[in-house]
């Protein structure tokens, strides 16, 4: 099932991207590239507390979106052969009143590690609260449909350029809680700097500085 889901994501992303380039009204194509001092995922370093170079491409049309994102990795645990992560994803973003939803599927692949694939279903909701917003998300393994990761999150603009955000989550599969809080500074319309502290209850706390450009 995982390979089928990931193949569907890849085909959708490629087809949609081609359509976007062929017709102005076919959708929107965007790109991002980032450098970070530490790739942290759900409170745990994915690069053994070392820097990472990351980038992605996204396509959207109406409620539909699809994309791909990649980063170098250096796991301090598990498979030491993995040095690259490639994520493929797609989903729908319907709205109901002031509630914005996101229902999708994500495939996490590690090409240098024998083509291993982990895939998850995603359900998320976001709601404005004053100038900021509050949300919640649930991620569920597609094979077992058990032991989810879920979180609540919030963000608030401090000024035109500064914003603060954070999240509190729980990863049932591994039995730990996560939390993060950070500030983001918009250098200009394209470039932003994020400074973030994160913690997982069974791992040392981490800090990451990330410079990201979006086009």
Give pLDDT tens digits along the chain (215 positions).
444 344 344 434 444 444 434 445 789 999 999 999 999 999 999 999 999 999 999 999 999 999 999 999 998 776 567 899 999 999 999 999 999 999 999 999 998 877 678 999 999 999 999 999 999 999 999 999 999 999 999 999 999 999 999 999 999 988 999 999 999 999 999 999 999 999 998 788 999 999 999 99
d(CA 135, CA 155): 9
Give the pLDDT confidence score for residue 21 in this predicted structure: 40
Q: Structural domain boundaries of the chain?
A: 2-214
Residue 184 gets which letter from DSSP? E
Q: Which CATH class is domain 2-214?
A: mainly beta
- 127: tokens are 């709601």
Give the pLDDT confidence score for residue 76 in this predicted structure: 72
| DSSP annotation string for 130-179 | TTEEEEEEEEEETTT--S-EEEEEEEEESSSSEEEEEEEEEETTTTEEEE
CB contact set of 42 (below 8 Å; sequence gap of 6+): 149, 169, 171, 178, 200
d(CA 193, CA 163): 11
d(CA 106, CA 121): 6
d(CA 151, CA 144): 19
Give the pLDDT confidence score for residue 114 in this predicted structure: 73
- Sign of the dihedral defined by the CA atoms of residues 56, 209, 85, 106, in that order: negative
- pTM metric for this prediction: 0.85
Phi-psi sector, 107: left (phi>0), alpha (psi -120 to 50), beta: beta
Give the pLDDT confidence score for residue 80 in this predicted structure: 63
């Amino acid at each position: 099932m995982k390979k089928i889901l990931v193949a569907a994501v890849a085909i959708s992303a490629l087809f949609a991207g081609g359509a976007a380039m062929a017709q102005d009204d076919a959708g929107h194509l965007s790109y991002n590239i980032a450098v970070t001092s530490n790739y942290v995922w759900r409170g745990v370093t994915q690069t053994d507390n070392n820097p990472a170079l990351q980038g992605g491409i996204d396509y959207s049309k109406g409620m539909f979106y699809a994309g791909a994102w990649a980063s170098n990795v250096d796991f301090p645990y598990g498979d030491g052969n993995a040095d690259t992560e490639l994520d493929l994803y797609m989903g729908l973003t319907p709205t109901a009143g002031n509630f914005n939803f996101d229902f999708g599927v994500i495939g996490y692949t590690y090409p240098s590690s024998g083509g291993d694939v982990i895939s998850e279903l995603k359900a998320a909701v976001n709601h404005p609260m004053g100038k900021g917003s509050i949300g919640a998300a649930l991620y569920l393994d597609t094979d077992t449909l058990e032991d989810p990761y879920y979180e609540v999150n919030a963000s608030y603009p401090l000024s035109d350029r500064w914003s603060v955000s954070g999240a509190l989550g729980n990863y049932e599969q591994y039995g730990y809680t996560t939390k993060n809080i950070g500030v983001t500074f918009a250098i200009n319309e394209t470039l932003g700097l994020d400074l973030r502290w994160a913690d997982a209850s069974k791992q040392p706390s981490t800090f990451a500085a990330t410079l990201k450009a979006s086009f």
